[in-house]
Structure 1
Amino acid sequence: MADAEAAGSREWWADAAVAGLGERRADAGAVGERKPDAGAAGEWSADARVVGSGEWLAADVRGDDGWKVRLGEGHRREVLEAVRAVAVRESGSVAAGDLGTVRVGLPAAGLPATELPGAELPGAEAARSKAVGVGLAGLKAGGDERAGDGAAEGLWEGYWLPTLGPVLRQVREELVGGRGFVLLQGVPVEEMSEREREIAALGLGCHVGGIVAQMAGAPVMHVRDTGADPAQARTRSYEHSGRLGYHSDPTDVVALLCVRPAKSGGLSAIVSSVAVHNEVARTRPDLLEVLYEPWWHDRRTGDEPDSFYTKPICVRREGGGVSVAYGPDYIRSAQRGAVVPPLSAAQREAMELLDRLTNDARFVLTMDLREGDMQFLNNHVVLHSRTAYEDDPERRRHLLRLWLTVSRP
């Protein structure tokens, strides 16, 4: 993994705006439709290519383990002790009647958690996830400070990682100033209960960034096949076992803790969206311009008009760089909306090109997430996918997902 001091001198990716119902948008001064480096007659110049952090090819990283961080036995014990300290406090601090009112972390760009989109969780799971999130609003990125109020007071006291904490700060630096992805290995999930695994994921995530509320305000989501039909208007991508197209999640960072892998399949694959962007700039600059224009997307909250919204796929950053927010499955499903116009010929061609490049072996790094692996991805510079999978009925694939926002300490 990149040296933390060196990473600190690189461009800070985390300040890309995260605003408005969990959607990444350009700053007010940089409208999403802005076409950078546009020449006369709207043609793009050759320097539309982006230079900076987050660009890599598969050949650059396949033989390099610098993006992997293996926890030693001391780190594993440290995590277990911290988790169990929090679990003890939680069991004595959260009454059943308080579960609907506890605070659940740091929403993106200061937005209330209730403003983030998403389907409702089953009651018991929503209550459990909210309970686990008590106190997160006072646990700042990096694990440097503690605060709280009410039931949250003192709950997370003790989740301090004196030797692992500095390693996780280097993880954050690599995410925002390096390749944009890290694989943490060896989290001792096999020695934990389900509740303790949730606490472990949240505590580790809090040392990397601030927790962003997800569906129904939950700070952690359980990723497993529920048998949901992907064709249904409210089905989310984490609820079925089918293949997922390359996409990014709506916050700075997404983290996935593997509790159990699938019986077969379920491989994670990532690409540098910066490298893909630059390949489009090199080969089809006319289509690159299309990616900076507004596209219709689907929140999958139902069939009403507010399930559909527009944003560009690519947004130029002030000072250089690009943030790429792509999700072909959600763009295509948006076509069902009565307010959504058909994709233009140029948009269809741009999607075909993106889908071809993101599946090109030159760009793809595959990870077979195993028990105890925790994957961190910078959504601005990395797109991720998953192959279809088959479950063992007795040991179903199970991951825990966090959404994180990162800011300069």
Structure 2
Amino acid sequence: MTSILTEPVTGPSAWRAADFTGEDDWVVTLTPEEIHELDAALTSARIRELPLEALTMADFPLPALGKTLERAVQDLEFGRGFTVLRGLPVERWTPDEARLAYWGIALHLGTPVSQNADGELIAHVKDYDEGGLDNPATRAYRTRNALPFHTDSSDIVGLLCLRGAGQGGGVSTLASSMTVHNHLLAHHRELLGLYYRGFVYDRRTEEGSQELPYYRNAVYGYFDGQLSCRFYMTHYIESAVAKTGIPLSGIERHALRLFQDIAERDDHRVEMTLRPGDLQLLNNNVVVHGRSAYEDDPGRRRDLLRLWLNTRYARCIPEDFARFRRGMPRTRR
């Protein structure tokens, strides 16, 4: 077990709701010059017709927007841990153009990694009509269910909104996992060892033929003077029980609920509704996120493009702390 941090986390990553006056504190609206530059880079990249994986930053030059993206990376890695870039012209891009533009932006942010057993580097977050989270073969991003606070596997997760929910819902909620840890330290320090030991998660059919269908991952780890968090979907913990045959103890269930309750406090969380053209970026090491349930209009689905990536400033974390930080292995062909 890693050593347990017994001092409060300080600095901008340990934020509370009162630290913000509104969305102007985290929204960066792109300028016409930056959009023009992005369009030019998109046109150039389309002409070359290279596969996404073959493109580099040099193939997608963004001299002005690149500076904005560098500031975003600084906020993600060393600041509050989240930001929203607003104004991407998704309404006039084709789906392929949106993917390509998003990929070009991602190259300036870091290195994208695989998100599932299909090896997808860009995944659609929408309702796939596969049932809810109680279906042990369904990943959370493929449902319209409400999602409890959680992290993804990579350091950074990006969500580019193409279409919002026609009948409302899908509100994004964020909380600082550093603030959650500070609260646990102050009021429930006897439970901290549970979070540093972690929980067993269901692979949800993403495992290879020679792999176990579950794995253990810690919620918190303190490495090289930095506290990091990975708190995956609690539904995956529940469905892992059927595969391990080992039930959760009462104290484990209490710890899982307590984490959610602390993150959900009005004085700890912030909410935002992503509009088309918004790109939300957050750092899974220091921020947990959730989403309210939503309903689609007939023939019009809420649709966000998701990227997982790691920046060049990535912190030092043991490989076994964030199991799929560098991407999920491709097990389906």
Both proteins in one fold, TM over 0.5: yes
Q: Which residue of 2 aligns with 1:221?
A: 123
Q: Which residue of 1 aligns with 2:8?
A: 49
Q: Which residue of 2 aligns with 1:335?
A: 241
Q: Which residue of 2 aligns with 1:72?
A: 31
Distance in 2 (alpha carbons) for counterparts of 1:187 and 1:309: 38
1:253 to 142, 156, 170: 156
How big is each residue's C-alpha offset from its partner over 1:46-75, in whole Å with a ceiling of 9 and x where there is no partner? x44223441100111243623211011111
Q: Which residue of 2 aligns with 1:134?
A: 53
The 3 A distance-change label for structure 1 pair 267 and 88 is same
Task: Say whether residues 1:310 and 2:269 are aligned partners.
Answer: no
Distance in 2 (alpha carbons) for counterparts of 1:187 and 1:221: 18
Q: How far does residue 255 in structure 1 lie from its aligned partner after superposition?
A: 0.2
Distance in 1 (alpha carbons) for counterparts of 2:272 and 2:263: 15
Q: Which residue of 2 aligns with 1:114?
A: none
Q: How far does residue 308 in structure 1 lie from its aligned partner after superposition?
A: 0.4
Task: Say whether residues 1:347 and 2:252 are aligned partners.
Answer: yes
Partner AA of 1:134 in structure 2? E
How big is each residue's C-alpha offset from its partner over 1:377-409, in whole Å with a ceiling of 9 and x where there is no partner? 000000010110011123211100000111239
Q: Superposition pairs for residues 2-401 of structure 1, below 5 Å? A: 33-36=1-4, 47-63=6-22, 65-90=24-49, 93=50, 131=51, 133-136=52-55, 139=56, 143=57, 146=58, 157=59, 159-215=60-116, 216-230=118-132, 231-263=134-166, 264-301=168-205, 306-337=212-243, 339-401=244-306
Query: Structure 1 runs of 4+ off > 3 angstroms?
Result: 302-305
How big is each residue's C-alpha offset from its partner over 1:167-218, in whole Å with a ceiling of 9 and x where there is no partner? 1011001100000001000011111100000011111111111111222122
Distance in 2 (alpha carbons) for counterparts of 1:163 and 1:50: 34
Aligned-pair identity (%): 36
The 3 A distance-change label for structure 1 pair 236 and 64 is closer
Task: Say whether residues 1:405 and 2:307 are aligned partners.
Answer: no
Q: Specify the SS of the correspondent of 1:255.
A: strand
2:220, 2:227 within 8 Å by CA — same for their partners in 1? no
Segment of structure 1 superposing worse, 320-329 or 366-375: 320-329
Distance in 2 (alpha carbons) for counterparts of 1:208 and 1:364: 25
Q: How far does residue 302 in structure 1 lie from its aligned partner after superposition?
A: 6.4
How big is each residue's C-alpha offset from its partner over 1:87-144, in whole Å with a ceiling of 9 and x where there is no partner? 1211xx5xxxxxxxxxxxxxxxxxxxxxxxxxxxxxxxxxxxxx4x2314xx2xxx3x
The CA RMSD measured in Å over matched residues stands at 1.9
Q: Which residue of 1 aligns with 2:327?
A: none
The TM-score normalised by the length of structure 1 is: 0.72
Q: How far does residue 232 in structure 1 lie from its aligned partner after superposition?
A: 2.3
Q: How far does residue 36 in structure 1 lie from its aligned partner after superposition?
A: 2.2
Specify the structure having the higher radius of gyration (Cα). Answer: 1
1:82, 1:161 within 8 Å by CA — same for their partners in 2? yes
Distance in 1 (alpha carbons) for counterparts of 2:228 and 2:284: 11
Q: Specify the SS of the correspondent of 1:257.
A: strand
Distance in 1 (alpha carbons) for counterparts of 2:311 and 2:37: 24
Q: Which has the higher contact order (CA 8 A, sep 6+)?
A: 2
Q: Specify the SS of the correspondent of 1:389.
A: coil
Q: Specify the SS of the correspondent of 2:62.
A: coil
1:250, 1:325 within 8 Å by CA — same for their partners in 2? no
Unmatched tracts of structure 2, length 5 or more: 315-333
Partner AA of 1:176 in structure 2? E
Q: Specify the SS of the correspondent of 2:281.
A: strand
1:270, 1:364 within 8 Å by CA — same for their partners in 2? yes
2:152, 2:230 within 8 Å by CA — same for their partners in 1? no
Q: Which residue of 1 aligns with 2:317?
A: none
Partner AA of 1:357 in structure 2? I
How big is each residue's C-alpha offset from its partner over 1:16-66, in whole Å with a ceiling of 9 and x where there is no partner? xxxxxxxxxxxxxxxxx22426xxxxxxxxx44223441100111243623
The TM-score normalised by the length of structure 2 is: 0.88
Partner AA of 1:310 in structure 2? R
Q: Specify the SS of the correspondent of 1:184.
A: strand
Segment of structure 1 superposing worse, 322-331 or 276-285: 322-331
Distance in 2 (alpha carbons) for counterparts of 1:280 and 1:324: 16
Partner AA of 1:268 in structure 2? S
Distance in 1 (alpha carbons) for counterparts of 2:30 and 2:170: 23
Partner AA of 2:286 in structure 1? V
How big is each residue's C-alpha offset from its partner over 1:191-250, in whole Å with a ceiling of 9 and x where there is no partner? 110000001111111111111122212210011111111222221111110101110000
2:174, 2:271 within 8 Å by CA — same for their partners in 1? yes
